[in-house]
Amino acid sequence: MWKWLHPYAKTENAYALCNTLLPWFWAGTCVFLSVGVVWGLVFAPQDYQQFESVRIIYIHVPSAILSMGAYVAMAVAALVGIVWQWRTAFMTMIAIAPVGAVVTFVALFTGAAWGKPMWGTWWIWDARLTSELILLFLYIGVIALYGVFDDKQQAGKAAGVMALVGVVNVPIIHYSVVWWNTLHQGASISKVDKPDVADPMLWPLLICLAGFAFFIAAVSTVRLKSEIVRREMHRPWVQKLVSNDGVSSDAI
Amino acid sequence: MNPRRKQRLAAVGIVGVLVFGAIGLMLYALNDSIDLFYTPSEIIEGKQGQIPQVGQRLRIGGMVVEGSVNRDSQTLDVSFDLIDTGPIVTVEYNGVLPDLFREGQGIVATGVLVSPTKIRAQQVLAKHDEEYMPPELAEKMKGIKHVKPSDVDTYGNGGN
């Protein structure tokens, strides 16, 4: 069932796959992000009690959801790396980590900027905000741990274990607003029921979510490509790639 | 799957279960401390059999009771009642309230319990729900009239 995945354990095949996917990721980013952001920030209606401030939702909610999504993706890569010992899996893990960290920071920052006018405070140590902050620390921990080792396969294993252990935080973030009472409101769209966002606001929000997802995928893919090239610098196929690139850029 | 991979997968699984179990138990033990605030009924009837002491610094969260907001016309002093499922706790506050503050709104106040049912608050924060909708829809569904804060004297008898 998973046989088709096996070739991508080889860096060369993974690199080729990145090249195939990347244009689609960028295309998705351009279309969804531009439509979603313009629709959300300019044309979507204002909220009945938050007025224009509600527009932060179009950045805050996608970045918050995808900070967890990116973490899960990173953890899956870590699992594959640890169990199947794929080098490309650890490369994927470390390619995603800084992207996820930045997205988490964006979620925290926009949340603070939204909290000040609406709640009356930038920050409060409630369960949702605190667990999201821990997510940022987990990302930073994975990056730092990976950086400590000179042997990158060893580094991948160590950071991978940390990434896997940290997965426990993801359901905590999601259910924090259910299990405990918090200042942060409950989930609006990531739940089984019909979302509590009116349709004219929900559509741009979902489009922004897709745009952010494509953007994160695109940036992670670019990072994965450069990680593969950096690690495989001395391999013949990379040497060939570099010399080919040299020729083509000379031609231009 | 070869045996070594199977072994590693099992190890990851066992460690995963242990970590989830440990964190789960920790959070369960800390359950009450992770809650951000007491509800009015928890302040009056107690939480897990413990009634907050007078003089204790705490946070309360509840709905502002309709018609309970009393503003001093000379100062920023304000008092209002909070309710959740029955018991009512009065909050006294001196300061600027958040824009979202209104009767029927959920709020979170930090302060000191000065009598069993009264809190002297140092900070009042507004809590809003997860529903977002345009003003016209809110008017239709909830009967909430769309009024911009800048268009109306929201501070009742205070005035500018």
Could you report the predicted ipTM of this complex, rounded to two decimals?
0.82
B91 and B55 fall within a common domain: yes
The answer to whether residue A66 scores a pLDDT higher than 90 is yes
Question: Would you state the structure tokens that stand for residue A62, as one six-digit string?
Answer: 């996608």
> B134 CB near a chain A CB, below 8 Å?
yes
Residue B105's pLDDT is 86
Counting Cα atoms < 13 Å in the Cβ hemisphere of B11 gives: 11
The answer to whether residue B141 scores a pLDDT higher than 80 is no
Q: How many domains does chain B have?
A: 2
B25 and B90 fall within a common domain: no
The answer to whether residue A162 scores a pLDDT higher than 90 is yes
With H, G, I as helix, E, B as strand and everything else as coil, classify residue B90. Answer: strand
Q: For testing the chain A interface, which of B132, B139, B142, B151 should be mutated: the one with the most A CBs within 10 Å? A: B132
- Asked if residue B93 belongs to a domain, the reply is yes
**Which region among A28-37, A92-101, A187-196 has the lowest average model confidence (pLDDT)?**
A187-196
Largest Cα span, chain B: 80
Residue B102's pLDDT is 86
Rounded-to-integer distance, Cα A86 and Cα A6, Å: 9
Select the residue of A54, A83, A186 nearest B12 (Cβ to Cβ): A83
* Residue A222: Cβ within 10 Å count: 16
Its domain, for residue B22, covers 1-33
> B39 CB near a chain A CB, below 8 Å?
yes
From B115's Cα to the closest Cα of chain A, the distance in A is 24
With H, G, I as helix, E, B as strand and everything else as coil, classify residue A192. Answer: coil
More confident site: A247 or A216: A216
Residue B155's pLDDT is 45
The percentage of chain A sitting over the pLDDT mark of 70, rounded to a whole number, equals 97
> A122 CB near a chain B CB, below 8 Å?
no
From B35's Cα to the closest Cα of chain A, the distance in A is 5
For range A136-163, the mean pLDDT: 95
Residue A140's pLDDT is 97
| Amino acid occupying residue A95 | A
* Residue A244: Cβ within 10 Å count: 10
Residue B147's pLDDT is 53
Domain locations in chain A? Answer: 24-44+57-185+202-230
Select the residue of B34, B61, B135 nearest A46 (Cβ to Cβ): B135
Q: Is A26:A12 a contact under the CB 8 Å cutoff?
A: no
- Asked if residue B144 belongs to a domain, the reply is no
The answer to whether residue B84 scores a pLDDT higher than 70 is yes
* Residue B26: Cβ within 10 Å count: 10
| Amino acid occupying residue A126 | D
**Which region among A53-57, A186-190, A248-252 has the lowest average model confidence (pLDDT)?**
A248-252
- B42 φ/ψ sector (left φ>0, alpha ψ -120 to 50, else beta): alpha
For chain A, helix, strand, coil in percent to 5 are 80, 0, 20
B90 and B115 fall within a common domain: yes
Range ranked top by mean pLDDT from A164-178, A188-202, B25-39, B133-147: A164-178
> B15 CB near a chain A CB, below 8 Å?
yes
Residue A102's pLDDT is 97
**DSSP character at residue A161:** H
- Over residues A223-251, the pLDDT tens digits come to 999 999 999 988 998 988 888 765 555 44
The answer to whether residue A187 scores a pLDDT higher than 60 is yes
| Amino acid occupying residue A39 | W
Residue B156's pLDDT is 44
Query: Cβ A181–B61 below 8 Å, yes or no?
Result: yes
Q: Is A63:A107 a contact under the CB 8 Å cutoff?
A: yes
Q: How far is CA A192 from CA A206, B28, B132, in A?
A: 15, 25, 17
> A181 CB near a chain B CB, below 8 Å?
yes
Residue in B with minimal Cα distance to A84: B5
For position B62, which CATH number holds?
A: 2.40.50.140
Residue in A with minimal Cα distance to B8: A83
> B32 CB near a chain A CB, below 8 Å?
no
More confident site: B141 or A25: A25
**Which region among A218-222, B14-18, B123-127, B144-148 has the lowest average model confidence (pLDDT)?**
B144-148
pLDDT class of B154 with cuts at 50, 70, 90: very low
Residue in A with minimal Cα distance to B148: A51
Rounded-to-integer distance, Cα B111 and Cα B92, Å: 9
From B53's Cα to the closest Cα of chain A, the distance in A is 21
Q: How far is CA A198 from CA A57, A194, B138, in A?
A: 13, 10, 10
∠ CA B96-B97-B101, rounded to 5°: 165
Rounded-to-integer distance, Cα B47 and Cα B51, Å: 6
Q: Please report which helix (H) or strand (E) contains residue A1, including its range.
A: none
> A20 CB near a chain B CB, below 8 Å?
no
From B54's Cα to the closest Cα of chain A, the distance in A is 22
- Asked if residue B132 belongs to a domain, the reply is no
Select the residue of B5, B36, B129 nearest A182 (Cβ to Cβ): B36
From A82's Cα to the closest Cα of chain B, the distance in A is 7
Q: Please report which helix (H) or strand (E) contains residue A47, including its range.
A: none
- Over residues A73-89, the pLDDT tens digits come to 999 999 999 999 999 99
B75 and B24 fall within a common domain: no
Rounded-to-integer distance, Cα A52 and Cα A251, Å: 52
Q: For testing the chain B interface, which of A60, A83, A190, A201 should be mutated: the one with the most B CBs within 10 Å? A: A83
Counting Cα atoms < 13 Å in the Cβ hemisphere of A218 gives: 16
B51 and B100 fall within a common domain: yes
| pTM flag (> 0.80) | yes
Residue in B with minimal Cα distance to A47: B134
B52 and B98 fall within a common domain: yes
Tokens 């295309």 locate to: A27
B110 and B41 fall within a common domain: yes
B88 and B112 fall within a common domain: yes
B39 and B95 fall within a common domain: yes
Question: What is the four-CA torsion angle of A95, A97, A102, A104, rounded to 10 degrees?
Answer: 140
B70 and B86 fall within a common domain: yes
B26 and B42 fall within a common domain: no
Chain B residues 75-114 within an 8 A CB cutoff of chain A: 97-100, 108
| DSSP characters over B36-83 | --B-HHHHHH-BTTBPPPTT-EEEEEEEEPTT--EE-SSSSEEEEEEE
Rounded-to-integer distance, Cα B45 and Cα B10, Å: 48
